[in-house]
Structure 1
Amino acid sequence: MKLNSAVSAVITGGASGLGLATAQRLAAQGVKVAIFDFNEEAGEAAAKELGGVFCKVDVTNEAQVDAGFAKARAAIGQERILVNCAGTGIAIKTASRDKQTGEIKPFPTDAFDRIIQINLVGTFRCIAKSAAGMMTLEKLEDGERGAIVNTASVAAQDGQIGQAAYSASKAGVVGMTLPIARDLMGDGIRCNTILPGIFNTPLLARAPENVKAALAASVPFPKRLGYPDEFAALAELMITTGYFNGESVRLDGGIRMAPR
């Protein structure tokens, strides 16, 4: 797929971090971008910077997702690109013992379900609705209609202590990538997933410098945190390379996460 002003894209979680970097990279190629995010202030600012449109969307809310796609398509046309970056994490052990009282507590199921709803169901919700829209488009010269890129995590394969919910949600994204690519192959829509390692995003920026330095040192090479634009560059490659389909690719400097 060639990137130019004739192409529109929707980026979920596009107001910051990996999503914003991807929106910036696509917009630099002339692509018209719509940013889905629940952070209205940051989302509006990003859309203004990129000449795109902001849609306030919580990916767990069906009505908001529908309204977001309707607003985006009215403003910039039917998207040929969907990049799913909306997501969050949590750290709770499956069962734990309070160090002071000795009380034993199981992982609260509602907290587990929330992570699944955001990271996995929210991603699939946006894929299904975007793909349905892409199916209305005329095929490009190579028979392609659209491209979808999802965000999983290296935790999908080597989750750490306390990451049962997060790892399950991200493993689910990896697990559905190939079946989705197969579901959509007859309509010329590709689907791929990136598994980022430790990236320098706003979420990590709140961590103390010594913590970030230790994380950087744990990366085999290069010994640093990933740059959001490196994620965006891989997303762009997945979008523009027509033979890239049904793949889940780690982007992590060769790290394999230890238990903690």
Structure 2
Amino acid sequence: MDIRGCAAVVTGGGSGLGAATARRLAAAGARVAVLDLNADAAQAVAREVEGIGVACDVADAESAAAALARAADAHGAARVLVNCAGIGVARRILGRDGPMPLDAFDRVLRVNLLGSFNMLRLAAAAMAGLEPLADGERGVVVSTASVAAFEGQVGQAAYAASKGGIASMTLPAARELAQFGIRVMAIAPGLFLTPMMRTLPEEVQAGLAASIPFPRRLGDPDEFADLVLTCVTNRSLNGEVIRLDGALRLPPR
């Protein structure tokens, strides 16, 4: 897809991978709506990319629909949706205080998995009504999984389940939406230098980076954004989960 002049929506766009993606899509010529639970962060990135910033709870049907409507009012219906909104909670199934609270597990799945599906279903409904482009293409959805979907570590049951759901959802969604000319992809990043990672001590960051075969460093959010753009522009990419991890395979702990 040639995204010059096309409307794009990036969830979790107020920071980290989402912010880098919003900047990359805008640099390629897209009109970008930055959605984030943090309205101030969304608007700050939106000012950078000359787009629109909208507060959005991706796991809430009404909030997501309202955010997409605001984005469509500003830029038209989106042909590109990138799901970067997500949270991570490190909790053991059986900890010192007993079993993991069910609401902690539920919250991670709601934001990461249900939120990604919620945005996909709403965006796809709008994309299906658009005029087709080359090869009959109408839109692209790229969601964010994780290497934890495949090698979840101790304490990552909730996070791994949520990201595994995104990975498993990608192919059936691509098959179902193919009739409308909508492609569905997912990226499974490894260890990236996001704001959450920056809060860790430098020695911890260095230890994590040393576990990556090559390049032996934490991933740059711009590298994630570059792969998003490739997923959007290459029409043969569909129904696939791409690992972006420097050949990293997570150990049990």
TM-score normalised according to structure 1 size: 0.96
Q: Give the match for residue 15 of structure 1.
A: 14
Q: Give the match for residue 186 of structure 1.
A: 179
Q: How far apart are the structure 2 equivalents of 1:190 and 1:141? A: 13
Q: How far apart are the structure 1 equivalents of 2:229 and 2:47? A: 22
Name the amino acid aligned to 1:130.
A
Q: Work out which of the residue numbers 189, 204, 207 in structure 1 matches 2:200.
A: 207
Matched ranges for 1:130-141 at <5 A = 130-141=123-134
Q: How far apart are the structure 1 equivalents of 2:129 and 2:136? A: 13
Q: Give the match for residue 3 of structure 2.
A: 3
Q: Give the match for residue 101 of structure 1.
A: none
Q: Give the match for residue 27 of structure 2.
A: 28
Are residues 1:250 and 2:243 paired?
yes
Q: How far apart are the structure 1 equivalents of 2:178 and 2:216? A: 39
Q: Deviations over 1:166-195 (max 9, x none)?
A: 000000000000000011000100000000
Q: How far apart are the structure 2 equivalents of 1:214 and 1:50? A: 34
Are residues 1:259 and 2:246 paired?
no
Q: How far apart are the structure 1 equivalents of 2:225 and 2:45? A: 16
Q: How far apart are the structure 2 equivalents of 1:15 and 1:243? A: 30
> Which one has a bigger Cα radius of gyration?
1
| Deviation, structure 1 residue 16 | 0.7
Matched ranges for 1:49-198 at <5 A = 49-96=48-95, 98=96, 105-198=98-191
Q: Give the match for residue 229 of structure 1.
A: 222
| Deviation, structure 1 residue 17 | 0.5
Structure 2 residue runs of 5 or longer lacking an equivalent are: none
Q: How far apart are the structure 2 equivalents of 1:240 and 1:36? A: 22
Q: Give the match for residue 48 of structure 1.
A: 47
Name the amino acid aligned to 1:217.
A
Name the amino acid aligned to 2:178.
M
Q: How far apart are the structure 2 equivalents of 1:59 and 1:245? A: 23
Matched residue of 1:10: which SS? strand
Name the amino acid aligned to 1:182.
R
Structure 1 residue runs of 5 or longer lacking an equivalent are: 99-103
Q: How far apart are the structure 1 equivalents of 2:134 and 2:194? A: 37
Q: How far apart are the structure 2 equivalents of 1:192 and 1:40? A: 27
Name the amino acid aligned to 2:235.
G
Q: Deviations over 1:94-142 (max 9, x none)?
A: 112x3xxxxx501111100000000000000000000000011000022
Matched residue of 2:246: which SS? coil
Q: How far apart are the structure 1 equivalents of 2:113 and 2:37? A: 17
| Deviation, structure 1 residue 3 | 2.0
Name the amino acid aligned to 2:27.
A
Matched residue of 2:173: which SS? helix
Matched residue of 2:185: which SS? strand
Give the count of matched residue pairs: 253
Q: CA RMSD in A?
A: 0.7
TM-score normalised according to structure 2 size: 0.99
| Deviation, structure 1 residue 35 | 0.7
